[in-house]
Amino acid sequence: MRVLIVEDTVDLAEAVIARLSQSGMVCDHADRIDAAEDFHAVQRYDAIVLDINLPDGSGLQFLRNIRAAGERTPVLMLTALASVDDRVKALDLGADDYLGKPFDQRELEARLRALVRRDADQKSDRVELGKLCFFPSDQSATVDGRQLNLTRREAALLGVLLRHQGQYLNKTWLYDSLYGFDDADVGINAIELYIGRLRKKLTGSGAAIATQRGIGYRLGLDD
């Protein structure tokens, strides 16, 4: 899952990013609206965490603009403006959720997972495929009840493939889901390495990763 954090309080943003990164989420940080617009113009996000009071304007204008352009990415407002009127205005403009400051990091993380599940029509706290069971909350997985030993990147990749099971996802799309702009030293061929590792670890699960040359990778039941 890739998340855009639009927040001008740097220490707060860094704390949020550190927490979400531990859960396998990739975060990009914008401290101004113009920076958020630049990120949004070149990158697709699974969710956006958006402050209202920003140095160069209101986050509500950014929200209004992306919704007017037909953008459906889930948006969670994270702000000290917590009155009923503030919440109603943000929700009417197209926000999907609202969390007032101060907040508990665990609640923010849980709300983001809920937003992504809602967007993907996935209501359960687990994703199952064959004997494979994946738990997004702690990025863990089991095969027939046996715990899989997954690295953070492997778990994040498995989560992406499961959210889009049955669909072919190209290497660039997967790379963008796993790595942020600060990971420029990691090459796109790292995806092939992680795909190979996952294939071995999914042996006996009934789930398999198929490759279609020039198209991408698809996770589904083993034929």
Total Cβ atoms within 10 A of residue 126? 14
Say how far apart CA 184 and CA 181 lie, in whole Å.
Answer: 6
Q: Are strands 75-79 and 132-135 parallel, antiparallel or unpaired?
A: unpaired
Averaged pLDDT for residues 10-15: 94
Shared domain check, 136 and 110 = no
Contacts of 99 (CB under 8 A, 6+ apart): 76, 77, 78, 107, 108, 111
- Average pLDDT score, the chain: 89
Residue type, 40: H
49 and 109: one domain?
yes
Same domain for 105 and 60: yes
Considering the domain architecture, whether residues 13 and 101 belong to the same structural domain is answered as: yes
Q: List % helix, strand, coil for the chain (3-state, nearest 5).
A: 40, 25, 35
Instruction: For residues 104 and 178, state if they share a domain.
Output: no
CA distance 24 to 180: 12
Domain boundary among 92, 119, 146: 119
**Is the Cα torsion angle 79, 72, 174, 221 positive or negative in sign?**
positive
On the question of pLDDT at 218 being above 90, the answer is yes
- 6 and 34 belong to one structural domain: yes
139 token code pair: 């990025």
CATH of the domain at 207: 1.10.10.10
Tell me: do 35 and 98 sit in the same domain.
yes
Alpha helices, H only, the chain: 10-22, 33-42, 59-68, 84-92, 105-119, 152-163, 171-178, 190-201
Instruction: Write down the pLDDT at residue 124.
Output: 61
Does one domain contain both 200 and 175? yes
Task: Give the pLDDT mean for 12-23.
Answer: 91
Do 54 and 162 fall into the same domain?
no
Distances (CA, A) of 213 to 160, 193, 196: 19, 16, 15
217 and 179 co-located in one domain: yes
User: Within this chain, do residues 9 and 95 fall inside the same structural domain, yes or no?
Assistant: yes
**pLDDT for 117-152, tens place per residue?**
776 655 567 888 999 999 887 889 999 999 999 998
User: Could you tell me the residue range of the domain that residue 148 belongs to?
Assistant: 127-221
Could you tell me which of 119, 147, 115 has the C-alpha nearest to residue 131?
A: 147
Tell me which of 70, 88, 119 is where a domain ends: 119
- Top pLDDT among 216 and 163 is at 216
- CATH number for the domain including 68? 3.40.50.2300
pLDDT for residue 34? 95
Report the number of distinct structural domains present in the chain. 2
| Domain C-terminal end among 119, 152, 181 | 119
How far is Cα 49 from Cα 58, in angstroms, rounded to an integer? 14
Is residue 86 within 8 A of residue 52, CB to CB? The reply is: yes
Q: 91 with 182, same domain?
A: no
d(CA 128, CA 213): 27
- Compute the distance between CA of residue 162 and CA of residue 140 in angstroms, rounded to an integer: 13
